[in-house]
Structure 1
Amino acid sequence: MRKFFLGVIFCLCASVAAATEVTIAALGDSLTQGYGLPADQGFVPQLGVWLADHEGDSGAISGVEVALINAGVSGDTTAGGAARAAWTLTPEVDALIVALGGNDMLRGLDPGVARANLEAILQAAQQAGVAVLLVGMQAPGNYGPAYKAEFDAIYPDLAAQYGALYAESFFAGLEGLRDDPAALGHYMQTDGIHPNAKGVTRIVAALGPKVLDLVARAQGG
């Protein structure tokens, strides 16, 4: 009888432990993958450290073990992300960070196509019952005002349509430096496109609170 009760207690403890685990997949391109950085300094590993350091900042994440999956592929477009969405959303995934569109924009691809691809990802997540944080991108002005307006509108529109959490910009942590190229250079790699490790730290600090909200939503909070 004593062994029976010990077995019941063990099973209950195991159930509680399982209930406190949240797995987040970060679906993105080189910015997510960690291009040009040591393995422990990319976006995903730095986000993991930030979440651990800020566990007490949110009741929803207190005592929760968050596992992060790096589903970033360097050079990927929204089309690539849409093609990978189904097998990224494995049964253990509870939440999804979507940070795609930068390469579509850099190549001047049709914003309508990017919208359709991102919508396909959100639909796949919805069907899987997975909470989503959609991270926005902004097009530069050199493609013209019409292109910029159409591209920039994709993210808030889709977030509202699908009830996803929304972060306005992946680079929000560096926005205050945009008008000072010399200062911004301290946080960028030599290509001027990808952040260095210090830049990623600022990016993670800005996006981190949104990820805490994502954890809460994944838990049904």
Structure 2
Amino acid sequence: MIIYILLIAHLLADFTFQTTKLAQQKRNSFKYFLFHILIYAVIFLMAIFPWVKFGKAILLYIIIISSHFFIDWTRTSVDKKFSSKAIIFASFIMDQILHILILAILYYAFDIGSETTSIYGYIQQLPHFNSLIIYSLIFVIIWDPAAVFIKKLFSYIIDGNSCAQEENDPQIGRVIGKLERIIVSVLILCNQFGAIGFVLTAKSIARYKQLEDKNFAERYLVGTLTSVSIAFITTIVLKQFL
């Protein structure tokens, strides 16, 4: 379960606690970049030290924070140097792949699963602890990380300045998408696959008039299918570990 806790910590620090404004500011100001690293460091402080023995925890912590600093600094430099939407989208994907890959490598390289504290051993014995961690990971993924991915995808495939699109990003649309993914995920966890169609139908009815606009219809279809696919795949995969 430690690897899942580390993944939750990464997603919270890199998405939930990194607002759109902070993500934009850290590109142009080293002060805000360091502020993001500080947030990341604080969250991982709580995600590592109570559960991993100090000898392994301190080295694990230093490597994770240092690697995050280096990867984010490299990505920021690439985004500043290149204006291509394809490169910016690719740098975002590679950034996340590298962060998650490093967490996985460190977990197995340091054999963290067998280096846990007595506190973790006690908590792990509590009823439904493992299920709670899996549920938390599912909902953390489909909340902010999925929303950011969809926004980045739109910036890549739709004409226009990506920064301007991020600034004008409609918050109500993001909230609807988040609620949509939560509902779909809950229905899958309850094995109510048939009810997913009603969710999509209700959303389409609310947008019925707007769907007459071809450009809006295309954006709506891409956004909805991507959103539902993320919720569906994430929940189906992680449900196997319950």
Task: Sort the TM-score into its range (normalised by shorter chain).
Answer: under 0.3
Q: What's the TM-score, normalizing by structure 2?
A: 0.26
TM-score with structure 1 length normalisation? 0.28
Structure in which a larger fraction of residues adopt strand: 1
